[in-house]
Chain A
């Protein structure tokens, strides 16, 4: 039983990176596909499409920071439950935010391709989604300190 609890603790420590990486991969892939499509239809401005398509990669970076913070607390029988709860749920939040951010970025690329003047405004929905990922990131760090 003790080993299972420790294992769950490690799952919690690594979940933000693993799930964040899954989400970022899907999100960047979706946004990247949209960027590639837009390049076929426009004559210039490719750089901004490629640049904005990398937006969903931030979630895996948040995951890495959370992983180091949680692992620094030490995985023991006393901390495992807290690590598992905070780590897993943060990972899920990061994964979904990255996937949906990728879709928001794809929509932004499609809109700004047809109407370049709305580029800045069209990124707003993706930026709002980023905000939710930041909430999960910051409060995971804050709450993580209460584990020990």
Chain B
């Protein structure tokens, strides 16, 4: 379709009301991809790169950190939109912060390698390792809550705080972009958040956890207790 199909595309997409109240995604991935085919080839390629960078489920089980950092830098350099670059930086900074907080919680020291993560603040974080909020409490107001959740072992609350922070950031950004490529990216990222939240399933998680434990135990797997309480 034409280069500027944003008006048609964005009005063809159903509104995403809320994150945690959603029970299903407002549109299936199949239908979403069909609608996204209205974009030009270049825009589609840019969107795929952004999605593959920002979503863990696009990654393989075996992830090499250096390759991931390199991929992030390459994707960022290829985008000609300051708003998208800022969004990617913010999102990757968030990951770096959460990774740093987890490492701190596990009692690990500051990383020794200068380029230990991606985003725009990894060096700053390394230099402020001693601070409880990594010196970023005002820029990322959700950090104290994350620290609290890590301390108390509240995994679900932690996940909700992080999802809500991303949702709020995307909602804030959406106010400045209504009918452009950035608006399309924001919609897809919000759709991914809803898809992720609505896909959470206790039973599937239990099966997956058990499968991972069995794989780790290898030949000792038969010694695992059986039954629903296991």
Cβ of B15: which chain A residues have Cβ within 8 Å of it? 114
B179 near A37 (CB under 8 angstroms)? no
A37 near B14 (CB under 8 angstroms)? no
Q: Is B171 an interface residue (CB 8 A)?
A: no
Q: Pull 19 A–B residue pairs with CB atoms less than 8 Å apart, ordered by A.
A: A33-B5, A33-B7, A33-B11, A34-B7, A34-B8, A35-B11, A36-B8, A36-B11, A37-B8, A37-B10, A37-B11, A37-B13, A38-B11, A103-B179, A106-B11, A110-B10, A110-B178, A113-B11, A114-B14
Contact of B7 among A37, A39, A40, A41 (CB under 8 A): A37
Whole-angstrom distance between the Cβ of B43 and the nearest chain A Cβ: 15
A38-B14 Cα distance, complex, nearest whole Å: 9
Q: Is A30 an interface residue (CB 8 A)?
A: yes
A138-B14 Cα distance, complex, nearest whole Å: 41
Within 8 A of A (CB), among B1-19: 5, 7-15
Q: Is A109 an interface residue (CB 8 A)?
A: yes
Cβ of B12: which chain A residues have Cβ within 8 Å of it? 36-41
A98-B108 Cα distance, complex, nearest whole Å: 61
Cβ of A40: which chain B residues have Cβ within 8 Å of it? 12, 35
Cβ of B5: which chain A residues have Cβ within 8 Å of it? 33
A147-B203 Cα distance, complex, nearest whole Å: 82
Within 8 A of B (CB), among A48-94: none
A107-B7 Cα distance, complex, nearest whole Å: 9
Whole-angstrom distance between the Cβ of A62 and the nearest chain B Cβ: 24
Cβ of A37: which chain B residues have Cβ within 8 Å of it? 7-13
Q: Mark B186-218, 1 if CB is under 8 A from A, else 0.
A: 000000000000000000000000000000000
B179 near A106 (CB under 8 angstroms)? yes
Whole-angstrom distance between the Cβ of B10 and the nearest chain A Cβ: 7
Cβ of A38: which chain B residues have Cβ within 8 Å of it? 11-12
B7 near A106 (CB under 8 angstroms)? yes
B11 near A41 (CB under 8 angstroms)? yes
| A interface residues with partner B (beta carbon < 8 Å) | 30, 33-41, 103, 106-107, 109-110, 113-114
| B interface residues with partner A (beta carbon < 8 Å) | 5, 7-15, 35, 178-179
Contact of B178 among A35, A39, A107 (CB under 8 A): A107
A35-B12 Cα distance, complex, nearest whole Å: 9
Closest A residue to B16 using CB positions? A114
A35-B11 Cα distance, complex, nearest whole Å: 8
Cβ of A30: which chain B residues have Cβ within 8 Å of it? 7
Cβ of B9: which chain A residues have Cβ within 8 Å of it? 37
Cβ of B7: which chain A residues have Cβ within 8 Å of it? 30, 33-34, 37, 106
Whole-angstrom distance between the Cβ of B194 and the nearest chain A Cβ: 15
A18-B190 Cα distance, complex, nearest whole Å: 42
Whole-angstrom distance between the Cβ of B11 and the nearest chain A Cβ: 3
| Residue from the set B8, B9, B10, B13 with the largest chain A CB neighbour count within 10 Å | B8
Cβ of A34: which chain B residues have Cβ within 8 Å of it? 7-8, 11
A35-B7 Cα distance, complex, nearest whole Å: 9
Whole-angstrom distance between the Cβ of B22 and the nearest chain A Cβ: 15
| Residue from the set B7, B12, B179 with the largest chain A CB neighbour count within 10 Å | B7
Shortest Cβ-Cβ A-B pairs, 8 listed: A37-B11, A37-B12, A33-B7, A40-B12, A37-B8, A114-B15, A33-B8, A34-B11
Whole-angstrom distance between the Cβ of B190 and the nearest chain A Cβ: 14
A37-B7 Cα distance, complex, nearest whole Å: 7
Whole-angstrom distance between the Cβ of A32 and the nearest chain B Cβ: 9
